[in-house]
Every structure is written in C-alpha cells, then in structure tokens.
Chains A and B, each alone.
Chain A
C-alpha cells in the first residue's frame, strides 16, 4: 500500500473536522505530517528487493601511505582495537622510504559508526603525517571481480 494524495486529503479533512474551531493552517499541517509519518513508518514502503543498507557492518578496506617511521602500525591498530574492529588480513610493503599498508577489517561488531571511525583515523593520519583511506569492501569487489 502506498500513501496516496487521497489518503492525505482524507486525513486532512478528518483533522479539520475533529479540531473544529481550533483548526489553524499550522496546526493542521503539523497533525497531518505526524499522521503521515506514522503511516509511512508502519508500511513497508515498496515491493522491490529490500537492500542491505547497513554500511556500518561488513568489511572495510583500510589503506595507509606515507614516509616510513616507527609506530604507524601500532597507532592504527590500537584505534581499531579500541573500537572493537576485527583486523582479518594485513599486508604491508616498504618501497624505498615509503610505507604502504592495506588492512581488511570487519566492522560488524564495532562500537563505532563508519563515519566516526573515519574521523578518528583521520586524526591519527594527521598526527603520523601519513594518508589513510577507508572504503567499504564492495567497491573493490565490484571493480575487480566479475
């Protein structure tokens, strides 16, 4: 079922009837909005496949680059540990003086939202003077696997 204009019109008319003399445009608008919101939250909004929109779970890929110095891996992993993020795989290379690390991290049980995790990591990156990117795993799956 979808909320059609007819339903909204009916709700509006009922509201006006109910309110009688007290009806003002603002009040009616407020009540109707509330009613419609309630209806939309109750009704499964459509019939096409329900997606997995929970970006705060699943695997993410962390990539870190920068001039090599001590403490990079430990600073990053301690943040991840603090938030209960599970490091599932890690690979690291040093090319001349440059440090590159890629981690696959499961954030399903993490105590943090994706964007907050990114903000924390950005602070670490700034302190260590390196670059850190985190991206949901899907983008790599889509681009590099058929």
Chain B
C-alpha cells in the first residue's frame, strides 16, 4: 500500500474529530475598471462584475471540499479598496455602492464581502475621507459588507488624524448597531502595515498590486495542533516545536491543495496560502487551549507571550515549506470572542488588554474582537489603536485593532453574537486620559528602521 495505515487514519482523525477545516477561500476581485461618473452605471458594473466572476465560487468550493473530505468553512470575496476606483464619490454615493455590494454578496451566496476600505497612512484624498465618513452608515445598513482602514505603515509612520477619526467612526458604528450588541464594529478593522492579499475577513481586500482576480486561502486547524501537543506528552520545548512544525506542514499542504483545486475549477489564478491558525468558538478549536496544553495554567499567565511566540514561529516554519506562495497575515490569531479559551480567560480575569497587547507583538493581527465598555471616550480608543500601530510600525509587522465599544454596556455585562463571532464579557479599560497627546493630531514620522535602502 503506498500509504501507511496510520497516515490515512491521521488525516481522517483531523477532519472528523479535530475540527480541521480550511477556514476560508477568498476570491479577490479588482474593481478598478468599474468607475463611472454616473452612479447608476457604476453600480451596475460593480454588481455585474462580482456576479460574473464569483458566480460559481461557492459551488466550486463545495465540490472540492466534498471530493477531498475536508470542509471549507467560509467562502468569501475581497475587492479593491473601494476608495481607490471611486475617489471622486461622496459619502452618500459610497453608501449606495455598499448596498450594491451587499446585494451582490447575497446573490453569489458568500457570507462576507470585504474591501469597503481606504489606505490613509500618510494622509487622506477627498474620496478617502468621504468613504471613512460613510463607514458607520454602510456597516449599519448592510449585512455582509466589511470595512478596513490602514492608518499606519513602517514606511509612512502613524497618521494620528486618521486614528482619531477612526475612533469616532468605531463609536458611531457601535451606536448605530446597538440593537445587535454593536455588531457593526466586528466588521471594521483598523490596520498598520496591512497585507494586500489577506484572505481573512473582516480585514481582507484585493490590493492594488494584485491581478484582475485571484484566489487566496486561509488555513485553520488549532484543534489539530492542540491534539498533537496533547499526544506529545512531557517533552522539551525543542521537540514540541518540531511536533507543531510537522502538524503545520500537513494542514498547510491540505490548504494548498484545496486552494489550487478551487482556483483551477473556477479558472482563476491561485494567489497565496495564509499560514494562520484561526480559532473558532467551537470547543477545542482554540489558540488559548494550545497555550494551556503547552503548560500554562491559563492564558494570561507569565510565559504566555513566550509560548505564543514559539507556537507562531513553529507554524510558520512548518507551513513555509508546504506552500509555494505564502502571504496574507500568516500568524496565529488571538481574537477574544471568537476563541472559547480566550473568552474563558477574560471571564476569569486572567487576561487584560495590556497582556493582549504584549501577545500581539509576537503573532499576527492584534487586538481582535475585544469588547470594551460603550462609554469609553474616543481618545482612549485612539490611544489603544495608536499603541497597536506603534508595535506594528516599529517591528515591521501587521497589527490591527478590531475593538467593540458595546453600546450601553458596562464591565460585568456580556455580548453574544453567536456563530463564528462568538461571545465575550466586557473588558475593563484604563481610565487614564490620553486626550492631550492625541488631540495634537498630525502624523508620527516613519521610524529609523524604515530607512532600509
């Protein structure tokens, strides 16, 4: 037999018992050719293009998933940051486009479409400021549209004016979606060093250097890594890293295979595999559980950052060899509400925003799905965003903030969105003021490590 008995059983165990799935196959579509001075024509162009290219996206993904017996959790779409092709539009026109995007997403059967975005790390164009102003309206009047704004890069520094505006946008979005526990904010990400080929919604978009269309894959598999660590028993950290590497290799290979096949079926060039361990609220599918299996009493204990750094690095090392094109975020995600183990740690008071911030120095994303009191002042939110951006800017890495000031809720309350978004207690935020610092406005200059030439 060309395969060992154990190898075949291992694969079956991964898919059937350990929640191994491909988290997302995301179809990136360029909308740069869809501009028209007439809004109605532009809307038609956008709608038709998305429907034409993504017509069979869900069907093809399901077909490949059934042949290989590996489920694909999400089929999604990312588009060119909308402010780029439609820079001459006003807020109300952007809002109309958002409704069209929502309709197109519904038509092709994807649960999220991301790219209601702007890249403003160095300053705003007229269109970008109009788009940003429309974000709270767009997120509260659509179901499937996701938005992201890049406010900082290592090469440009941090646009504090944009950070300040985004903090107000976040608060406004929270209020406009207060009926659903401020769910609008779960669809809005503020980035530093945003990757252009990230397949993971809500922060996905189809970057300006990308081709006409492309298919990117985000792998998952915390459950598989967790099981491998549990089975390893009491071994030293070097051996543990080896085990994580081997597991990451296998799950990335599966991701690469699935991505290539879906791309081939749809006749779309294959883009990248994103080597991220993405948790879900399902029991056992948690990054926190992995860290605890490595030997911490709870996430948040001293040593958490070191354990996470090792996990993240081992996943990358294993995944790197498994795929020809690696991109996107590529790092472990540590969302609070979307990871049952993280939520538990917050409930028990083991995890603070400050510890989360430290953890984001060594893994991808940043403060993700963190729920804070609804009465948090905008300056405090801006301070939190600026801190995350600083980590990203200085360390040449992507960081992001997806923070939810749950409208009308206080520390001790809870929000529950259900599904993949999960639930979370409200986390306390420091009451110290950063108002004067942020109200200075302007841009923090690019750091010395941006001068690499």
Contacts and interface: CB of A to CB of B under 8 A. Distances in A.
Interface of A: 45-46, 48, 51, 53, 55, 61, 63, 89, 91, 93, 100, 102, 104, 114-115, 118, 133-136, 138-140, 142-144
Interface string B188-228: 00000000000000000000000000000000000000000
A91 B256 CA distance: 29
A37 B256 CA distance: 31
Contact of B1 (A48, A91, A139, A144): A91
Contacts of B261: 51, 53
B256 A133 contact: no
Contacts of B8: 61, 63, 102, 140
A143 B5 contact: no
A53 B264 contact: yes
B267 interface: yes
B419 interface: no
B68 A134 contact: no
Nearest to B69: A135
Nearest to B255: A142
User: Of A63, A115, A118, which is in contact with the most chain B CB atoms at under 10 Å from its CB?
Assistant: A63
Is chain A's interface secondary structure helix, strand, loop, or mixed overall?
mixed
Is chain B's interface secondary structure helix, strand, loop, or mixed overall?
helix
Nearest to A114: B67
A142 B267 contact: no
Nearest to A100: B9
- The list of the 8 closest CB pairs from A to B, nearest first, reads A51-B264, A135-B69, A142-B257, A139-B68, A142-B253, A144-B7, A143-B250, A55-B67
B265 A140 contact: no
B265 A53 contact: yes
Contacts of B11: 135, 139-140, 143-144
A61 B11 CA distance: 11
Contacts of B5: 91, 93, 100, 102
Given A63-B8, A91-B1, A139 B267 contact: no
B334 to A, nearest CB: 26
Contacts of B253: 142-143
A114 B63 CA distance: 10
B14 to A, nearest CB: 9
Contacts of A93: 5
A133 to B, nearest CB: 6
Contacts of A139: 11, 68-70, 254, 257
A61 B5 CA distance: 11
A135 B1 contact: no
A46 B267 contact: yes
A23 to B, nearest CB: 19
B12 A133 contact: yes
Contacts of B56: none
B375 to A, nearest CB: 50
B66 interface: yes
A135 B8 CA distance: 10
A142 B256 contact: yes
B437 interface: no
B67 A135 contact: yes
Contact of A140 (B7, B63, B67, B264): B7
A115 B68 contact: no
A89 B12 contact: no
A63 B68 contact: no
Nearest to B260: A51
Nearest to B66: A115
Nearest to B254: A143
Given A53-B265, A102-B5, A136-B67, 5 more contacts: A63-B9, A102-B1, A139-B254, A142-B257, A143-B7
14 contacts: A45-B267, A61-B3, A63-B8, A63-B9, A102-B9, A104-B3, A114-B67, A133-B12, A135-B68, A138-B68, A138-B257, A140-B3, A143-B11, A144-B4
